[in-house]
């Protein structure tokens, strides 16, 4: 009688592939910051194989031999350049960025893009104190939507993160270990307000969720983190943008510049059947508020937030913000970022309102769809 093969041991919530050797090698390369240089090397090797094959068959030498060899040489030189300038930091000193205080709120929010390569220098004391002050201010209970406390811990150490390089200074977002949905939303909303002001001052930022190694973060937090009470939601890197970026990360950035159309994100009915015409009355009163939500950052650029803008008698009654996935963390952080951008845009337009969670009977006709799932509403003051 054949014996049953022993079951492979996995840690809780570990996917099947996470126990494979190739995955562990990939993670080692990722956490040691070598993974971003690997694509160049892989392509170089493939081009050399192609050139060897072309030389062997003696056919189309220009296409199968000369061109692959030239491309391989260029990519290899680029690899050396990236390793020298980014990995080891051998390059000329880079200038400090200028502030964007001359831009309006919408231009500041649109100017903000995820920074994937930071200068080695630390933030100035003035910039650091500004970030810490804003983090403390925006995480106060009176400025949050949930009674569950959140906080941001400052870390001045090269945490293990991906794919950003050169990161040294972070805010670590911490919520209670016991899950509270609105506390996670508060993390996104509060931290995005810090990010917006940091962008205005010329600082570069990078939201990091799945690409952060929690073991590394907990190690550097030390006594400031209690695993029995605390849960790390995400981290955000702050610093000065570097012009030196590995080629692989440049390609990643290009893939993340796409956004869904506004009509795929905003709707005029709770059934999500009528895309919102943002140029029609009264919706156009909110101008670029739709745009800055559209370009909000989200994990893997998934854009998991939707909104319903409800009007009656030619007046906006409320805006319902909803999650398009069942994700308990990254979708809620993304929704919180939307709330911050919407709030900032409304403030710039002189639109006063408040956030409020409404009971189903207050939201209109049922049934409501399972997804997108209602989270919270913004109610203008005149509709109160």
Res 4: pLDDT: 44
**Same domain flag for 135 and 269:** no
Give the closest residue to 341 by CA, choosing from 112, 115, 127, 141. 112
203, 224, 249 - which closes a domain? 249
Res 23: pLDDT: 73
Res 363: pLDDT: 87
**Same domain flag for 202 and 245:** yes
CA atoms within 13 A on the CB side of 236: 32
Quote the pTM value. Answer: 0.90
**Same domain flag for 350 and 288:** yes
Distance CA 291, CA 262 (A): 7
Each residue's pLDDT tens digit in the chain (384 positions)? 444 444 444 444 445 556 788 778 877 777 778 888 999 999 999 999 999 999 999 888 899 999 999 999 999 999 999 999 999 999 999 999 999 999 999 999 999 999 999 999 999 999 999 999 999 999 999 999 999 999 999 999 988 888 899 999 999 999 999 999 999 999 999 999 999 999 999 999 999 998 888 989 999 999 999 999 999 999 999 999 999 999 999 988 887 789 999 999 999 999 999 999 999 999 999 999 999 999 999 998 999 999 999 999 999 999 999 999 999 999 999 999 999 999 999 999 999 999 999 998 888 877 788 999 999 999 999 755
Contact 65, 48 (CB under 8 A): no
Read off the CATH number of the domain in which 242 is found.
Answer: 3.40.109.10
Residue 339 lies in a domain: yes
249, 276, 307 - which closes a domain? 249
Res 367: pLDDT: 75
Residue 331 lies in a domain: yes
204, 222, 249 - which closes a domain? 249
The crossing angle, in degrees rounded to 10, of helices 247-255 and 67-82 is 100
Contact 213, 35 (CB under 8 A): no
**Same domain flag for 268 and 305:** yes
In three-state secondary structure terms, 321 is: strand
In three-state secondary structure terms, 318 is: strand
**Same domain flag for 112 and 34:** no
Distance CA 123, CA 97 (A): 11
Distance CA 302, CA 223 (A): 34
Residues in contact with 70: Cβ distance below 8 Å, sequence separation at least 6, in sequence order: none
**Same domain flag for 144 and 244:** yes
**Same domain flag for 130 and 205:** yes
Residue 43 lies in a domain: yes
**Same domain flag for 109 and 226:** yes
Give the closest residue to 114 by CA, choosing from 31, 235, 231. 235
Say how many C-beta atoms besides its own lie within 10 A of residue 112's C-beta: 23
Q: What is the total count of domains within the chain? A: 3
**Same domain flag for 40 and 121:** no
Residue 10 lies in a domain: no
Contact 49, 41 (CB under 8 A): no
Res 14: pLDDT: 47
Cis omega (within 30 of 0) on the bond before 163?
Answer: yes
**Same domain flag for 239 and 294:** no
Position of tokens 């999500």? 272
Residue 94 lies in a domain: no
Q: Is the dihedral of CA 189, 194, 200, 204 positive or negative?
A: negative
**Same domain flag for 333 and 262:** yes
- What does the block give as tokens for 239? 């610093």
DSSP string, 46-114: HHHHHHHHHHHHT--HIIIIIHHHHHHHHHHHHHHHHIIIIIS--SPPPPPPPP-TTS-HHHHHHH---
Residue 95 lies in a domain: no
**Same domain flag for 40 and 142:** no
Give the chain's end-to-end CA distance (angstroms, integer): 75
Residue 112 lies in a domain: yes
What φ, ψ does residue 133 adopt, rounded to 5°? -65, -45
Distance CA 111, CA 123 (A): 20
Residue 39 lies in a domain: yes
Position of tokens 């073991």? 215
Position of tokens 């997108």? 372
Range(s) of the domain holding residue 124: 105-249
Res 166: pLDDT: 92
């Amino acid at each position: 009688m054949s014996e049953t093969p022993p079951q492979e041991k996995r840690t809780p919530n570990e996917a099947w592939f996470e126990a494979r050797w190739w995955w562990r090698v990939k993670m080692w390369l990722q956490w040691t910051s070598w993974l971003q240089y690997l694509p160049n090397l892989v392509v170089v090797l493939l081009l050399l194989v192609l050139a060897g094959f072309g030389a062997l068959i003696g056919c189309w030498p220009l296409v199968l031999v000369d061109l692959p060899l030239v491309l391989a040489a260029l990519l290899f030189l680029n690899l050396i350049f990236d390793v020298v300038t980014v990995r080891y930091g051998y390059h000329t000193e880079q200038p400090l960025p200028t502030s964007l205080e001359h831009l309006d709120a919408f231009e500041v929010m649109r100017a903000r893009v995820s920074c994937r390569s930071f200068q080695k220098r630390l933030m100035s004391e003035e910039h650091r104190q500004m970030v810490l002050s804003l983090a403390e201010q925006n995480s106060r209970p009176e400025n949050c939507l949930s009674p569950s406390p959140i906080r941001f811990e400052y870390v001045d150490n090269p945490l293990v993160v991906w794919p950003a390089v050169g990161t040294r200074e972070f805010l670590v977002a911490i919520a209670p270990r016991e899950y509270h949905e609105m506390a996670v939303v508060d993390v996104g909303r509060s931290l995005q307000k810090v990010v917006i002001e940091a962008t205005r001052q010329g600082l570069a930022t990078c939201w990091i969720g799945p690409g952060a190694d929690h073991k590394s973060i907990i190690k550097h937090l030390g006594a400031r983190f209690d695993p029995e009470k605390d849960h790390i939601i995400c981290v955000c890197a702050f610093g000065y943008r570097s012009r030196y970026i590995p080629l692989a990360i440049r390609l990643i950035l290009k893939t993340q510049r796409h956004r869904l159309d506004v009509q795929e994100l905003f709707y005029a009915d709770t059934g999500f059947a009528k895309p919102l015409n943002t140029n029609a009355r009264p919706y156009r009163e909110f101008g670029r508020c739709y745009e800055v939500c559209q370009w909000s950052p989200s994990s893997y650029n998934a854009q998991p937030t939707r909104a319903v803008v409800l009007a009656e008698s030619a007046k906006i009654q409320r805006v319902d913000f909803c999650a398009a996935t069942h994700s308990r963390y990254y979708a809620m952080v993304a929704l919180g970022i939307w709330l911050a951008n919407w709030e900032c845009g409304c403030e710039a337009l002189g639109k006063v309102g408040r956030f409020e969670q409404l009971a189903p009977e207050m939201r209109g006709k049922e049934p409501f769809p399972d997804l997108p799932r209602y989270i919270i509403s913004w109610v203008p003051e005149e509709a109160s």
